[in-house]
Amino acid sequence: MAKYSENRQKPKSTQDRLKGYAIKAGIKKGLAGTFIYGWLLASLTIIMVPILWMVSAAFTDTENLNAVPIIPIPTRWSLANYQEIFTYTGSTTQMLPDYPRAFLVSLGVASLSTVLTVIFSSLVGFAFSRYRFKGKKPVLLSMFGLQLFPSFMGMIALFLLFNQFGWLNSWPHLSLIYVAGSIPFNTFIIRGFMKNIPLSLDESARIDGASNLQVLRKIIVPLAAPILGFVAVDSFMKPWLDYILPSILMPENETVAMWLFRVNDNESQPYNPMLFMAGGLFIAVPIMMVQIYMQKYVVYGLTGGAEKG
> Cis omega before residue 270 (within 30°)?
yes
Instruction: Output the smallest distance, CB 236 to another protein, in A.
Output: 12
Instruction: Output the smallest distance, CB 109 to another protein, in A.
Output: 14
Measured CA to CA, the distance from residue 278 to residue 272 in angstroms comes to 10
Cβ closest to another protein, residue 93 vs residue 307: 307
203 Cβ contact list (under 8 Å, min separation 6): none
Instruction: Output the smallest distance, CB 169 to another protein, in A.
Output: 17
Cβ closest to another protein, residue 77 vs residue 152: 152
Cβ closest to another protein, residue 16 vs residue 144: 144
Measured CA to CA, the distance from residue 134 to residue 145 in angstroms comes to 19
Measured CA to CA, the distance from residue 32 to residue 10 in angstroms comes to 29
Count of residues in the chain: 309
Cβ closest to another protein, residue 127 vs residue 221: 127
Instruction: Output the smallest distance, CB 182 to another protein, in A.
Output: 10
Instruction: Output the smallest distance, CB 101 to another protein, in A.
Output: 19
Cβ closest to another protein, residue 99 vs residue 240: 240
Cβ closest to another protein, residue 101 vs residue 191: 191
Cβ closest to another protein, residue 53 vs residue 77: 53
Instruction: Output the smallest distance, CB 94 to another protein, in A.
Output: 24
Instruction: Output the smallest distance, CB 82 to another protein, in A.
Output: 16
- 10 Å CB burial of residue 276 (0-12, 13-18, 19+) is buried
